[in-house]
A and B are shown apart, each in its own frame.
Chain A
């Protein structure tokens, strides 16, 4: 009997490598509940690839995708996300619109700030648009992947987040790949929100990135996601999470979506792989690393813990990451977070490519 099992295991290992991967982390299919909070610029790119990583995993039960302005404006991001769900056949996953604007920060304020403190190269929706001109928050430029026919949820992101953590207390992972506006709103409406979640997974912050790229070395504490809505970041980093894991600029820039990796994904036959390969650009795998490292923590080879906040002072450091040790922290409710320091890059690329190229899992029961 044991021999037969071994043969079966070997056979399945040869046929379904991704399935074996899932077995190794010992999560039953469709059991890891997650809400994806994302500034979902598209088509393709880091934001969409992070969403795909979590949806493509057979381990996850994606309760919904809550969208927030960041890399692009909310309205267009919702459309790109809906269209992606149509393409991969997962229109059962609710796409829930969140905040169109940060709590306090504005594009106009930041323009004045720059005259005092210097230019900020990347400002997401405020100064950058891929393939078309920078535009207003409600305009939706033509979509290369086609416009969606499905509609966004009627609920708003904050209330959806609150409803889900109450429905599944201590079971829901909140994955955050964009500015923290939606999470801050949820926390403001319901102070129990953070403590009812299982954990918070963040792509954000910058500690001391080792690179020659001046975008990161001239302002080593500035990172876009936390910077765009500093007040939201600070609120979320003072909330009573059970656990917070942070993927920083420091580790993200150790990854690259190379042409080879794109070519590898292009070999995939399923719609997810074809979509990813068609719209992918070489660049850092910011949000994908946060997502895939949550699926398989063995990708991360080194971590350390710090206390983290974001500067909400309207000075030169507005939006910058603040970190302390236990000995130096101010004790104003700042949270201890787990910082990812280093990774097994080859393992990450392999698992990311597997996720992008595997068949999209079917709808799970019992939503």
Chain B
């Protein structure tokens, strides 16, 4: 074995560092970031929350429930005073779509946000199928967590945070938190996304906390979607995560991306103005602990009570992606690389591919912002503060 690291021509080295935003460990920078974000919050609170001043977002989620990272991340948007959630588009992932729609509707009822449209999206990934993965596993080894597919055959690892037993996609078991009485939107997620970015060009953030099937469908129907959106914020992918006590075998595999790799490829090769991706690497630096749930239980708001009652110990995967968008000051270190996903039907199917400027293939892969580290205290405090806000946080907006 030899390598260029010791012999690499010196002119090659700086290219990488250009792409690293080394703002993390420099005290002055951290301070200025915090000041900026504090200033932002101050300015924001001083402004009246008119429709014009609200940041518009579509929340695309594989909305398992009750609670868990999926519902909790949705709640953060709903509870934020400066955010207008245009709608919640649902995609199969952690659970099947219809069960997720029911959990989301019920969460809106319990937390006083019934004015927000819930829009059903894709039931199945574009290409990937449970039966294909079954065959794939005989060649390449078991996949630890498979979301809605978990437990479809005996002996499968149920994975962290799985709720309930395997069932068919059209089955919606009775919900532990009670069944909803309100109904979902009759529009489908892809068309809702397309309609919203045309209605509010360059003003809508698309947040995706699950598989990217709905986003890919929207882009496929209308390639203008990515350019008409303001930015894309994603929880997905894994780079080189060090699990506290984890398997070494899933280095670049992360559930959201793995469930529908082709949709990730379509989304990440579209021309967005800005892409920010919260990966496993940083998500596992956060944790919803029992002590934290106990803190939430003391807060007498519907949102806090809902999370305290149904929340579990879990990494705060999707909440962190929301926090970085609400207040960039939470993120203390970030890098930028070109990213895609492997869609070849090989051992690497669904795994993240990463390049810098010097070695990328140039096949449409986009530069993405990758938060690497966070201010944990600021993050935990932000979540508590949001859950402590009365709901609804703003008057119901006009029907979309």
A interface residue numbers (CB < 8 A to B): 41, 45-47, 71, 114-122, 124, 128, 130, 177-178, 203-204, 207-208, 210, 213-221, 223-225, 249, 252-253, 281-284, 286-287, 306, 311, 313-317, 320, 322-325, 327-330, 332
Contact present for A215 and B3 (CB under 8 Å): yes
* A76 shortest CB reach to chain B, Å: 14
Given A119-B359, A220-B251, check contact A46 B1 (CB 8 Å).
yes
List B residues 1-35 near A (Cβ within 8 Å).
1-8, 12, 16
Select from chain A the residue with minimum beta-carbon distance to B349.
A315
Partner of A317 from the list B16, B139, B351 (CB cut-off 8 Å) is B351
Contact present for A317 and B141 (CB under 8 Å): no
Select from chain A the residue with minimum beta-carbon distance to B359.
A119
Contact present for A208 and B251 (CB under 8 Å): yes
Given A116-B361, A118-B361, A225-B1, check contact A316 B356 (CB 8 Å).
no
Known interface pairs A122-B3, A317-B351; 16 further A-B residue pairs with C-beta atoms within 8 A, sorted by A's residue number: A45-B2, A71-B1, A115-B361, A121-B359, A122-B4, A214-B16, A215-B5, A218-B355, A220-B239, A286-B1, A313-B347, A315-B344, A322-B140, A325-B248, A330-B139, A330-B141
Given A316-B353, A325-B249, check contact A330 B1 (CB 8 Å).
no
* A364 shortest CB reach to chain B, Å: 28
* B258 shortest CB reach to chain A, Å: 14
The proximity string for B residues 334-363 relative to A, scoring 1 for CB distances below 8 Å and 0 otherwise, is 000100001011111001011110111101
Top 3 closest pairs, chain A to chain B, by CB: A283-B6, A315-B344, A313-B346
Contact present for A221 and B359 (CB under 8 Å): no
Contact present for B252 and A118 (CB under 8 Å): no
Q: Does B240 contact A (CB under 8 A)?
A: yes
Contact present for A213 and B249 (CB under 8 Å): no
Which residue of B5, B8, B337, B354 has the most chain A CB atoms within 10 A of its CB atom? Answer: B5
Select from chain A the residue with minimum beta-carbon distance to B341.
A316
Partner of B348 from the list A284, A286, A313, A325 (CB cut-off 8 Å) is A313
Which residue of B3, B240, B242 has the most chain A CB atoms within 10 A of its CB atom? Answer: B3
Interchain CA distance A117-B351 in the complex, whole Å: 13
Partner of B2 from the list A120, A286, A328, A332 (CB cut-off 8 Å) is A286
List B residues 339-389 near A (Cβ within 8 Å).
342, 344-348, 351, 353-356, 358-361, 363
Given A119-B358, A218-B355, A306-B248, check contact A317 B348 (CB 8 Å).
yes
Interchain CA distance A116-B240 in the complex, whole Å: 23
B interface residue numbers (CB < 8 A to A): 1-8, 12, 16, 137-142, 144, 239-240, 242, 247-249, 251-252, 337, 342, 344-348, 351, 353-356, 358-361, 363
* A336 shortest CB reach to chain B, Å: 13
Chain A residue numbers with a CB within 8 Å of B2 are 41, 45-47, 71, 122, 124, 128, 224, 283, 286
Interchain CA distance A214-B338 in the complex, whole Å: 13
Select from chain B the residue with minimum beta-carbon distance to A47.
B2
Interchain CA distance A124-B2 in the complex, whole Å: 7
Chain A residue numbers with a CB within 8 Å of B141 are 322, 324, 328-330
Contact present for A311 and B1 (CB under 8 Å): no
Interchain CA distance A121-B5 in the complex, whole Å: 9
Partner of A215 from the list B8, B140, B240, B360 (CB cut-off 8 Å) is B8
Chain B residue numbers with a CB within 8 Å of A130 are 7
Partner of A207 from the list B8, B142, B248, B351 (CB cut-off 8 Å) is B248
Partner of A224 from the list B1, B137, B348 (CB cut-off 8 Å) is B1
Contact present for B4 and A215 (CB under 8 Å): yes
Contact present for A311 and B347 (CB under 8 Å): yes
* A279 shortest CB reach to chain B, Å: 13
Given A128-B4, A221-B252, check contact A317 B347 (CB 8 Å).
yes
Contact present for B1 and A322 (CB under 8 Å): no
Chain B residue numbers with a CB within 8 Å of A306 are 248-249
Which residue of A71, A114, A325 has the most chain B CB atoms within 10 A of its CB atom? Answer: A325
* A102 shortest CB reach to chain B, Å: 15
Contact present for A284 and B240 (CB under 8 Å): no
Partner of A121 from the list B8, B248, B344 (CB cut-off 8 Å) is B8
Chain A residue numbers with a CB within 8 Å of B363 are 116
Select from chain B the residue with minimum beta-carbon distance to A320.
B348
Contact present for A283 and B7 (CB under 8 Å): yes
* B17 shortest CB reach to chain A, Å: 9
Select from chain B the residue with minimum beta-carbon distance to A114.
B361
Interchain CA distance A203-B360 in the complex, whole Å: 28
Q: Would you mind naming 13 contact pairs between A and B with Cβ atoms under 8 Å apart?
A: A46-B1, A71-B2, A118-B359, A204-B1, A208-B240, A219-B354, A221-B251, A224-B2, A224-B3, A252-B1, A286-B1, A286-B2, A287-B1
